[in-house]
A and B are shown apart, each in its own frame.
Chain A
Amino acid sequence: MDPIALSVDDLTVAYHRKPVIWDVEFEIPQGKLVGVVGPNGAGKSTLLKAIMDLIPKASGRVEVFGKPYHQSLHRVGYVPQRESVDWDFPVDALDVVTMGLYRRVGWCLPIRKKHRDAAREALARVGIADLAHRQISQLSGGQQQRTFLARALVQDADLYLMDEPLAAVDAATEAAIVELLKQMQADGKTAVVIHHDLQSVPEYFDHVVLLNMRVVASGRTEDVFTNENLQKTYGGRLTLLDEATEAMRRRERGI
């Protein structure tokens, strides 16, 4: 049995007291390429952010490589959604990639040549070495996503959390990113990837988490990526659960 890279236990996150994810529980063995799938509003991004303590949890425990998240901070790499940042920000692609190294550089210390070299190397690995000094708004969508991935690469983490890295990219970029993910897996890395395209799931991922507010199923792709489970995941929200939380909210607000 592989050691556990990420374990989530009884995780609930609420927004304005309305649960977004509820009683989420799963374990991810080390070295897996994991697809997180579920309908819109199923709480996929929320799950990743809650794992990284970027948003407050109502309850739950997260362990990364057997330790609480804040003790394994340096072993976790994050690729946010492309739309989450301002692409007009006055930096070039190399700058963005270098940001992945800031943790290793430490407070107040400047970026040195070896850091920039590492960043250049990562850009080369994702195939856009020639765009290092281009302002980021002048990159295409696929190139922006590759920049983000290069930044994740230089972080040299053991567990990667990626929010839709394959959303709205061209076919060439998708192929390049998937290739890179497989390479990372071969190097012993674990990647948890939010994915929207059900068709390619069995091809890309060997482990799946089906999410719709709670975990419908999680495990090896061939075991859990079944029609029955997909039906449960996509077959409408759990309306009774919704109604119960709505009633709770009304009572608490005194309406």
Chain B
Amino acid sequence: MMGFDWNWQLDGWIVAAGILCAVASSLLGCFLLLRRMSLLGDAISHAVLPGLAGAFLISGSRSSIWMFVGAVIVGVLTALLSDFIHNRGQVDEGASMGVVFTTLFASGLLMIVVAADRVDLDPGCVLYGAIEQTPLDKWDFPWLGIAVPRVVVVLSIVTLVNALFVGLFFKELKISTFDAALATASGFSASLIHYALMTLVAVTAVACFESVGNILVVAMLIVPPATAYLLTNRLRTMVILSCLIAAVSAWGGHVMAIVIPSWFGFRSTTTAGMMSVAAGCAFMLAFLFAPNQGLLPRLVRQQWLRWSILADDVLTLLYRIEESARIGVSHSASADGSTFAVTAMPLTQTVPWVAETLLTNRFAVKWAIRYLSWRGRVEPAKANEPGSESAESSEAASVLPKLTAVGRREAETIVRSHRLWEQYLVTKVDVAEERLHAKADRFEHFTDREMQEQLDEQTDSPSIDPHGRPIPNPDQD
């Protein structure tokens, strides 16, 4: 089904290592992101290198516990040192972090080059690790009856510790991240929690470093949490989602690493790198399609708003035409000649005239009319109605429709909002008369019933607007 040989003994363990690393990192990454410290995670995961190399040079072994401890200490030191330089030296936070971790990382690389003469530790390994070699180094678990790769065991423990930390101290992490002052004042020392978090970031970085490389930790500390943050506005959901995204990226990354290069006739590429790319793709998807914050849904919502405003405008214009026919053109013309075309209503109104009045094109107006008639707000005017001048049949398509009862009621509500706003702006805000219409025209589309009632109350329930036109009230008809 997958188009390649899936070997549980090999691929299964590789994916397991990737998923564990990804989940362990993104659990902590959520809080780094919300503390605006994503970069510190990056810094720590780079800076553990001299700790690893130093401990290695001293002990001469790759898997000693001292190596682990040494690297973790250097990692935590990174956080302490950059804090110190930032506070005492009055150096910018980002700059102080950059100074500390690049210096440490570079000195770590130098130490590895020195050590490389003697052993099999190479700088390339630092970046993208050796996740493909995961299944080769196994520990036997006789009571389980299977041999589990050492890396998977270590990463399982780290993931478990991180999950316990986030689970048990969820509340404390939340309060100290949101409001450090309140946390401290409530007896949860914010700096204690901060350094506990930094220690675990260092532990995670070290555990992942040798197996899956630096690039995957950095990516998984930042990318899945950032993706989840786009998708939700609940912290718990964000943590769970980011773990899921991390896990799926890890699995998908491995599959992509094997499949995609083969399309172009290459051999499979580095899995850790592809896992990071997969996470980046997940972020792009969320960036484009996230329901609330995604680029495309936002665009669609904007267009929809514009469209419904146009439909409202067409509806109210039809109402005004009706109205001026009922109460006479002279009345509205006397109120104010300059602001609105309705006041100088031509005898026959056509679609092109509506388009011109609403500053849009005929095509849009026709579609708006079609939409309104689909919703039952308007119906086609009868061709043989007296006074509609049906002689020119070629222009029949341009003849405006009539309002239905539902449509008239809806139009009255909007016109009521409009005129109440005009009244309010004149009496309460002192807006100049020539700018009244434009302001009210904007507000009318965002005025709900409650706001309308408040407007009515604050303008002493007027019956005519500042231009002398009646303010309709659909409830009283």
Contact = CB atoms under 8 A, between A and B. Distances in A.
- Whether A associates with B in a native complex is yes
Interface of A: 16, 49, 52-54, 73-74, 76, 78, 80, 84-86, 89-92, 95-96, 99, 102-103, 105, 107-111, 135, 137, 151
Given A107-B172, A108-B169, A73 B178 contact: no
B185 A52 contact: yes
Nearest to A99: B175
Contact of B178 (A16, A74, A89, A110): A89
29 contacts: A52-B181, A52-B185, A53-B184, A54-B181, A54-B185, A73-B185, A73-B187, A85-B179, A86-B34, A89-B235, A90-B232, A90-B233, A90-B235, A90-B237, A92-B234, A96-B178, A99-B175, A99-B182, A102-B175, A103-B187, A103-B188, A105-B171, A107-B172, A108-B169, A109-B171, A110-B171, A111-B171, A135-B233, A137-B233
Nearest to A92: B234
Contacts of B237: 90
Contacts of B238: 90
Nearest to B292: A135
Nearest to B184: A54
A99 B34 CA distance: 17
A54 B184 CA distance: 7
A57 B185 CA distance: 16
Contacts, number: 75
Nearest to B168: A108
A78 B237 CA distance: 29
Contacts of B409: none
B177 interface: yes
Contacts of A95: 174, 235
A96 B419 CA distance: 41
B187 A89 contact: no
A54 B187 CA distance: 12
A207 B207 CA distance: 59
B30 to A, nearest CB: 9
B234 A90 contact: yes
A91 B174 contact: yes
Contacts of A73: 185, 187
A91 to B, nearest CB: 6
Contacts of A137: 233
B103 interface: no
Contacts of A91: 174, 178, 234-235
A76 B185 contact: yes
How many residues of B sit at the interface, in one of the four size bands? 20 to 34
Given A89-B178, A91-B234, 19 more contacts: A54-B184, A78-B181, A80-B182, A84-B179, A84-B181, A86-B34, A89-B34, A89-B235, A90-B232, A90-B233, A90-B234, A91-B174, A91-B178, A91-B235, A99-B174, A102-B188, A110-B171, A111-B171, A135-B233
Interface centre among B90, B172, B187, B237 (most CB of A within 10 A): B187
A213 B373 CA distance: 70
A53 B183 CA distance: 12
A103 B189 CA distance: 11
Nearest to B187: A103
B68 interface: no
A52 B90 CA distance: 25
B178 A102 contact: no
B229 interface: yes
B171 A80 contact: no
B262 interface: no
Contacts of A86: 34, 178
Interface string B216-235: 00000000000001001111
Interface string B158-174: 00000000001101101
Nearest to A91: B235
Contacts of A54: 181, 184-185
A35 B237 CA distance: 41
Contact of A49 (B34, B174, B181): B181
B239 to A, nearest CB: 10
- Residue of B90, B186, B187 with most chain A CB atoms under a 10 A cut-off: B186
A214 to B, nearest CB: 24
A90 B186 contact: no
A135 B177 CA distance: 16
A241 B368 CA distance: 72
Given A90-B233, A91-B235, A105-B171, A80 B181 contact: yes
Contacts of A103: 186-188
